[in-house]
Amino acid sequence: MNIAIVGYGKMGKAIEEILIERGHQVVAKLNRKPKAEDLKDVDVAIEFSNPEVAFENLKVLLENKIPTISGTTGWLAHLEEIKTINQENNAAFLYGSNFSLGVNLFFELNHHLAKLMAKYPEYKVEIEEIHHTQKLDAPSGTAISLAEQIMENSAIKNWELDSKTSEENLPIYAKRIDHVPGTHTVSYHSEIDSIEIKHTAHTRKGFALGAVLAAEWIHGKQGFFTMKDVLGLN
Ligand SMILES: NC(=O)C1=CN([C@@H]2O[C@H](COP(=O)(O)OP(=O)(O)OC[C@H]3O[C@@H](n4cnc5c(N)ncnc54)[C@H](OP(=O)(O)O)[C@@H]3O)[C@@H](O)[C@H]2O)C=CC1
Ligand SMILES: O=C(O)C1=N[C@H](C(=O)O)C[C@H](O)C1
């Protein structure tokens, strides 16, 4: 397939390597908002830019009816608007806060554990995420997805970054350490013991491979999708 990479940074470059390994052609590599003329021969766009610009990029891609995969985090206040634009243009859009197979399996585990733990209020839950120091957003998109899965399965209504202003909220602790690709831990603590699940990414390769598999999967489809659709986890 002919692929446009929108956001040719750390992830864009990792994605390019996998695309070439899998026999695809990279026909555009953009570190700016795409224009209609960039998209003439494009089968699928893969967008990994930054929280400030993602919405504008996605709008152009979907208005030009380009099936689009987005992994950019920190722009989700606009998600409903993007879903509407996608629908109005009969286009195809897939968003994932994390494209790695391991994290998507970890999401299933988190969901199951949250359901189980909801019956035991003596355990208090918290999330920790660790990423490299260049990351612009906090908490990570993955930590927000983990928090949402816990809230869907418990009485907790809100998550909160770093400090605890309310005992009722789910705390997310965000740490920034040089070169860490992404580590997420969900832990439940009682006076007696603790239960912990943890995912550690060793490289960005898993995120990049997942994004390419999603691009291959979405070609020829219409609608809004997630990695659950790609991996058959629905
Ligand atoms: N969902 C997932 O699985 C994963 C998601 N991510 C997310 O992906 C995003 C990118 O991460 P990463 O590659 O590490 O970040 P980088 O900062 O390495 O790359 C971002 C790139 O976007 C470019 N850019 C700036 N403005 C625009 C624009 N208007 N349009 C298109 N591109 C632009 C930057 O160019 P310049 O340097 O010239 O400004 C840079 O090359 C982040 O939001 C991150 O959280 C990361 C890993 C996995
Ligand atoms: O910025 C990153 O690097 C990552 N971002 C994603 C997130 O915010 O969850 C996914 C991964 O953890 C790496």
Does one domain contain both 36 and 48?
Answer: yes
Does one domain contain both 127 and 214?
Answer: no
Decide whether any atom of ligand 2 lies within 6 Å of the 139 Cβ. no
Q: What is the pLDDT of residue 83?
A: 98
Look up the CATH number of the domain holding residue 62.
Answer: 3.40.50.720
* Domain membership of residue 73 as a residue range: 2-99+205-231
Does one domain contain both 140 and 80?
Answer: no
Does one domain contain both 83 and 159?
Answer: no
Query: Total structural domains in the chain?
Result: 2
Q: How far does residue 122's CA lie from ligand 2's centre (Å)?
A: 31
Does one domain contain both 47 and 65?
Answer: yes
Which residue of 100, 127, 142 sits with most ligand 2 atoms within 8 Å of its CB, as the best mutation to test the pocket?
142
Residue 97 near residue 73 (C-beta atoms within 8 A): yes
Does one domain contain both 93 and 105?
Answer: no
Does one domain contain both 71 and 123?
Answer: no
Q: How far does residue 48's CA lie from ligand 1's centre (Å)?
A: 5
24 annotated as belonging to a binding site for a ligand: no
The ipTM, to two decimals, is 0.99
**Which residue is closest in CA terms to ligand 1's atom 3?**
98
Does one domain contain both 91 and 107?
Answer: no
93 annotated as belonging to a binding site for a ligand: no
Would you please indicate which residues are annotated as catalytic (active-site) residues?
A: 131, 135
Q: What is the pLDDT of residue 162?
A: 86
Q: How far does residue 170's CA lie from ligand 2's centre (Å)?
A: 20
Decide whether any atom of ligand 2 lies within 6 Å of the 135 Cβ. yes
Does one domain contain both 187 and 221?
Answer: no
DSSP secondary structure letters along 172-233 = EEEEE-TT---EEEEEEE-SS-EEEEEEE-SSSHHHHHHHHHHHHHHTT--EEE-HHHHHT-
Residue 38, CA distances (Å) to 29, 45, 66, 68, 181 in order = 9, 11, 11, 14, 31
Q: How far does residue 10's CA lie from ligand 1's centre (Å)?
A: 7
**Which residue is closest in CA terms to ligand 2's atom 3?**
181
Look up the CATH number of the domain holding residue 182.
Answer: 3.30.360.10
Does one domain contain both 8 and 63?
Answer: yes
Q: How far does residue 42's CA lie from ligand 1's centre (Å)?
A: 20
Ligand 1: residues with CB < 6 A are 6-12, 30-33, 48-51, 53, 57, 71-74, 96-99, 207
Decide whether any atom of ligand 2 lies within 6 Å of the 131 Cβ. yes
Q: Which DSSP helix (H) or strand (E) runs through 5? A: strand 2-6
Does one domain contain both 44 and 82?
Answer: yes
10-residue stretch averages of pLDDT, the chain, 234 residues long: 98 98 98 97 97 98 98 96 98 98 98 96 97 97 98 95 83 97 98 98 98 98 98 94
Q: What is the pLDDT of residue 234?
A: 87
Q: Pick the ligand that lies closest to the CA of residue 5.
A: 1
Does one domain contain both 57 and 131?
Answer: no
Q: What is the pLDDT of residue 103?
A: 98
Give the gyration radius of the chain's Cα atoms. 18
Give pLDDT tens digits for 215-229.
999 999 999 999 999
pTM above 0.90, yes or no: yes
**Which residue is closest in CA terms to ligand 2's atom 12?**
182
